[in-house]
Amino acid sequence: MSRQQLRIILWVSVSVASAFSAWGWFRPYAWKPDPAARCKVVETLISRDHDYFWLEVHLKVNPGMKHDLLKPVSLQTARGALLDPADTHFAGQEASGVTDIWFKFWLESSDLEGELNLSLNDGKLLVKSTRGIPKLAGENGRNFTTHRW
């Protein structure tokens, strides 16, 4: 193999790897979030607490929209249970209002067995679409940037 062919193969390999990395970095959490929810999921953090789990859902409020504080927020499990947030944090500027919201939920292992949907404002957002408890591999927590976990 000539030196020129080797360079071409390396450049193609680096280009493909860069494209794949860019796609993984910039892809949305969910492709079509419910506009009635007025927010979109940015990321989730799951961490173990003995036999239970903490699930923290980070939302970004859609531009020009406001989160309605008077409407209830709940996480619906695959078995139909509705869980209220154990903790809520808001972030933003005084001029622009709330731009980011973090909801934290206390879950049993059985709650993580299937799909999870977050109900807020007038819509629903997909938080988890797969079956089974995510593998934490000895870690205390794991961050997910897509609903396929």
Q: Burial, 127: exposed, middle or buried (Cβ in 10 Å; 0-12, 13-18, 19+)?
A: buried
Q: For domain 35-144, say whether CATH 2.60.40 is its number.
A: yes
What is the residue extent of each domain of the chain? Answer: 35-144
89-144 pLDDT per residue, tens:
999 988 888 999 999 999 998 999 999 999 999 999 999 999 988 887 666 788 89
Distance CA 42, CA 100 (A): 9
**Mean pLDDT throughout 65-81?**
94
The pTM for the full model equals: 0.81
Q: Say what the pLDDT of residue 80 is.
A: 92
Q: Which two tokens stand for residue 97?
A: 């209002």
| Statement: residue 73 has pLDDT above 80 | yes
Q: Burial, 48: exposed, middle or buried (Cβ in 10 Å; 0-12, 13-18, 19+)?
A: middle
| Statement: residue 27 has pLDDT above 90 | no
